[in-house]
Every structure is written in structure tokens, then in C-alpha cells.
Structure 1
Amino acid sequence: MRWPDLPPLNTLLPFEATVRHASMTAAAQELHVTHGAVSRQIQNLERALGVTLFERGTRTLRPTPEARQLAAAVRDALDQIDTAARLISRRPVTGPLTLSCEPTLLMRWLIPRLPDLKAHAPDLDLHLSAGGGPLHLERDNLDLAIRRDDFPFPPDLSRAYLFAERIGPVCRPDLAPGVTSPDGIAADVLLHTATRRGAWDDWRRVTGMTAAGDSEQTFEHFYLTLKAAAAGVGTTIGPYALVHDDLVQGQLAAPHGFVPDGTGYHLLSRRPPEEDSRIALLLSWLRGQAAQLEGTHGRRDQ
């Protein structure tokens, strides 16, 4: 035998699923077998390796560091086998894709464009999930995510660039003349977002302009901050993708245009687009939408 240290192969699927779920019950449900069958295979694997793979509590099951290391290797091997089998069989990948997207980008940019996606790719089954910041696609049962690169991306994920983040002050159109000066913004109220508290500082740093207000107000989410700006409560920093439609509809004005802040949005996926026609199709559409966004930005920038 060329691989004398290989454990029993029939133990690896139940083991990997148990580590991923931290639950034999969930692993059994995924594999359509009984809890007892999973438990026996885990015990067989532990005997074969001579190590304990899980810390067992009354209602808890915690994988050991050794178990996590082995499970990662098993997942890598299964991914390679799955890719090779698909290439050999030439079967297209089917089924739904679950995409996580930052909540305000999802609400204000992606969802309004879904009818165009349906017309462009009627057979693509896309499930959407709101989420932001660092992520673990496999643990969270996600296929894809759209994220801004303001944090390190996991090195094992495929990444495809979509568009640059551009920021600028926005307010209700009739307020723009009163808050705009050649040097920057002098507003009654500067609006902030709790999830990006440094937005005004970023704009000052990038442009060298000033921004001052008689008072300040903070909202929990960008969506609420932009609603407040459109209602005339004050002036805020708006990422271009999030305010594009409001600018077109005349609900917001951007008196100083938009400037890149050095970050950008990417599509992250567990497998590269060239290995999954569904991801390739979605990426092509997203880049088309991003190109339109970049084009309209060029016409609105000052």
C-alpha cells in the first residue's frame, strides 16, 4: 500500500461533517445516516489514529486542534476530487448559490438590480444573505460574498475585483448651496454612521478639504444615515454605490463629487469562477453592473 498511514476512508466524511458542525446529530442529518453510525465511525477513526479528536461534554462536542487540522486536509482533498470528477464528467454545476452582501449595499445597490439579473440569467438561483465584515464561507454555509477590502480576506478564497469605493458628502439637493464652500463642507449637522465612524476623516484625508458642523448625529446603519440626509436632517459621507440611485432620482446631491478612498469591493467565492459556470455567470453580470456604476460616476464626479 502506497499510503500506510491513511485512516479508514469511510470514516472521513462523517468526521469532516462532525468537525464542521461541531455536532454528530447535524453531521448525521447532512449525510442521511443515524447518529449512532456517525459516532461509530468517529470512534473507528480515533482508534486508527490513536488520538482523541473531540472534547466531549454533556451537551457539547468540541474538535481538538488535531481534529481541525485533519478536517482541513480532508476538505482540501474532497474539493480536489470533486473538481476532478466534474471536469472528467463534464457535468455543469447546478443548484442555488448563496451570496452574502453587506446590508446597505444589498438593499441600495444589488436588490434594485435583481430584475436585470433575472433577465440576464433566468436559470440562476441566487439566495441572498445580509452580512458584513470578516467571514468564513464554509462555516456559514455560504458560496459567495461581496465585501469591501478594509480587512484581510481569507487566503483560501477566490477573489474577483468589482469596483472601487468612492466617497463624497451628500445632502438634500436644496441644502447643497448652503453647506458647500470652496474649501469643503460647513453644515448645520454632520451625520455619522456607527459602522464607519471614520468616514468624514477619510474624506478630509483624501481631499484635503475641511468639514465642520454646528452639531453631529450618529445612526446605527448607513441605510438610516442616508435616509436622514435625504430627509434634510444633515450632511453625510455617501459611498457612491449606495447613493447612486438617489442621485439619479434627485433625492440627494453631491456638491463635491466623489473620490476613491483606496478600498474596493470584491466577489469572494469558495471555488474560482472558471470551475463553476454559475459563479462565472454571476461575476460577468456583476462586472457589467459595476462598469455602469463606474461610467455614471465619471459623469457625476467633480
Structure 2
Amino acid sequence: MSDHFNLPPLNALKAFEASARLQSITLAAKELHVTHGAVSRQVKQLEEHLNVSLLAKHGRGIKLTDAGSQLYEAGTAAFAQIHTACVAIRQQTQRAPFVLACPGSLLARWLIPRLEQLQRDLPELRLQVITSASDDSNLQQPDADASLVFLDQACPDTMQAYTLDNERIGPVLSPLYQHAAALQTASPAQLLNEPLLFTRSRPQAWPEWAKIQQLSVTDLTYAQGFEHLYYLLEAAVAGLGVAIAPEHLVRSDIANGRLIAPWGFVETSAKLVLLKRKNQHEKRAQQLAQWLTDNL
């Protein structure tokens, strides 16, 4: 095994460096927020590892032995190099853009209308947005720092999820749809007689909603299917049928009258989350998660 795997423990080196620099075990303990005994034990461990004395008593304080002076000089230089490298890495990370992956439908219908405000509120984030591979992608994009997703499963052990909101889904249709007037006052069961638009990226949406409404899933009648949720909603706006969608994606369409939601929305087991790898971009991810929560 090569020599670099036989280094002394880092805590022992830190205790020695602080003691030598401050010429006091007591002051080193205060700086490191540990007890006097803990520092003494760490220094003794280092001396035993090297089989040499590093510190000697000098009056009421301590002084370096020849071996101690040699190690202190080398250790100080090494710690300085590590500190310089860490500062440079942090600065590079802070200057780099924060890349957010987002499903195309969520990007087009929710994030883009708010993107300018987000960039004004969090300029230091240097946000760049890319499109996720699919509407139902629950996994972190390899080329992104974080992903905005509807997560309906346990978060992977290697990932961290910031929960932003519960998912709520419901049927929506255009006021121009041929049966719109009748459906606005009808019970949910009336949808069993309507051709239902669906998306292939979320085929479980209609069955999940039907079960909550205590309707028979087998009695649902499907019409045109679409590859992405964005196309599904455009079809609904065009009056082609009744679609089902997350409330977040149709809130503005309902507000401006392009769509109506006669039966409202129900919560599912899914959560809208900001998903990222653990121990990466903690501060910037927290800033973005808080902004998203405040603006949902």
C-alpha cells in the first residue's frame, strides 16, 4: 500500500496545528470547540503514530521540538493549500449556472410565465432551464443540478427532495366543448358517457381520479391519447373533449376562461418536489425551493 494511505488522523493533525500555532493546548481546545483533554489525546495519538515527541513544556506553555517544527511547517503549508483549493471550488460552483430540469408541460404552463420574476428575485442563482426527458420523469436528470417533478414514489437514497406542494388533479374542458353547458351542473358520474382525453405519460390519472370519485374504472371511455400533457391540454382548450390535469398547470387557463373545472380538483399521492443529489448545491437548492413554494 502506498505511503499516502498511512497518514495520521486528520483530527490529530488539526489539534497539533492549532496547539503549535497558539502555543497552548487550552487555546487550541477553545478554537476547536473541544475539551483540553481531547486536544491532549489527539496530540499524543499523533506522537505515537510518528513515534516522536512533537511538543514540549515550556514554562506555563508549550514549544515545538525539532520534529514538531518540521511537521508544523509542512502541515501549515498543506492546510493552506487545501483551504485555497476549497475556496476556489466554492467560487467556481457559485459562478456556475444552476441547471433545472423541468417537464415540458410544467415548463410551458407554469414556470415560463414566472421565469423573469424568478431570475429577478434570485439573480445569484444564474438559473438555466432544460426540458426533462418526459412528463412523468421521477429521476434526476444527469445533466441537471435539480429536477422539478411530480414524485409518486419514495425518494431514492442518493437524492434529496424538497416538497413544494401536494398534487391535485381534476377533469377540465373548454367552455366551447359541445357538452360543456350540461356538464357544468352534472355529477362526476356523467363523465362515464364522455370521451376522455388522456396522456400516455400519465395513464393512471383517470383511473386514480375515478377511484376517488367512487366510479367504476372499467366504465371509463377513452378517446384520443397524447404523448405529452402539454398537447393534451391544448386539445382540451380546442374543445376536443374532457382532459385530466394537475391544478398547477391549468390554473391560469381557468382564470382566463380557456378551461373550466366543474368538479374541482382532488389530491393524489404524488407531491410536486424539487429533486437533487444529496450533499450538492445545498444553499442554492434551498433558495430555489423556497421561491417555488412561495409562488405556487
User: TM-score when scaled to structure 2?
Assistant: 0.62
Answering whether residue 245 of structure 2 is matched by residue 241 of structure 1, we say no
| Partner secondary structure for residue 95 of structure 2 | coil
Query: Cα distance, 1:86 vs. partner?
Result: 5.4
Alpha carbons 2:197, 2:225 under 8 Å: kept:
yes
Given that residues 140 and 147 in structure 2 are in contact (C-alpha distance below 8 angstroms), is that contact kept between their aligned partners in structure 1?
Answer: no
What CA deviation, in whole Å up to 9, does each residue of 1:12-44 have, x standing for no partner?
A: xxxxxxxxxxxxxxxxxxxxxxxxxxxxxxxxx
In the alignment, which of 208, 213, 219 is matched to residue 207 of structure 1? 213
The size of the alignment, in residue pairs, is: 211
What letter matches 2:206 in structure 1?
A: W
What amino acid is aligned across from residue 233 of structure 1 in structure 2? L
Question: Paired residue for 2:170?
Answer: 168
Question: What secondary structure does 1:196 align onto?
Answer: coil
Distance 1:92 1:252, change over 3 A: same
Determine the C-alpha separation between the residues in 1 that align with 2:6 and 2:279: 33
Provide structure 1 residue ranges, at least 5 long, that are not aligned to the other structure.
6-80, 291-302
1:43 alignment partner in structure 2: none
Match for 2:235 among 218, 228, 234? 228
Distance 1:257 1:134, change over 3 A: closer
Q: Are 2:289 and 1:283 equivalent residues in the alignment?
A: yes
Paired with 1:207 and 1:213, the residues of 2 have a C-alpha distance of 12
Deviations 1:69-103 (A, max 9, x none): xxxxxxxxxxxx99x94599899833201111122
Q: Does 1:135 align with 2:136?
A: no
CA shift for structure 1 position 198: 1.9
Q: What code does the residue aligned with 1:106 have?
A: L
Which whole-Å CA distance do the structure 2 matches of 1:92 and 1:279 have between them? 13
Residue 178 of structure 1 deviates from its aligned partner by 2.1
Q: Identify the match of residue 203 of structure 2 among 190, 197, 200.
A: 197
Alignment of 1:219 with 2:226, yes or no, is yes
Report what 1:36 is aligned to: none
Does the 8 Å CA contact 1:93/1:276 hold for their aligned counterparts? Answer: no
**In 2 relative to 1, CA 152–224 (structure 1 residues): closer, same or farther, beyond 3 Å?**
same
Aligned to 1:32: none
Instruction: For 2:182, give the aligned amino acid.
Output: G
1:185 equivalent among 172, 184, 190: 190
* Unmatched tracts of structure 2, length 5 or more: 8-81
SS of the residue aligned with 1:184? Answer: helix
Specify the SS of the correspondent of 1:108: helix
Q: Does structure 2 retain, via aligned residues, the 8 Å contact 1:191–1:217?
A: yes
Q: Mapping of 1:51-130 within 5 angstroms?
A: 85=86, 93-130=94-131
* CA RMSD of superposed structures (Å): 3.1
Q: Do 1:185 and 1:210's aligned partners in 2 also have CA atoms closer than 8 Å? A: no
Structure 2 CA distance for partners of 1:160 and 1:208, relative to 1, 3 Å: same
Counting aligned pairs with the same residue, the percent is 33
Amino acid at match of 1:200: W
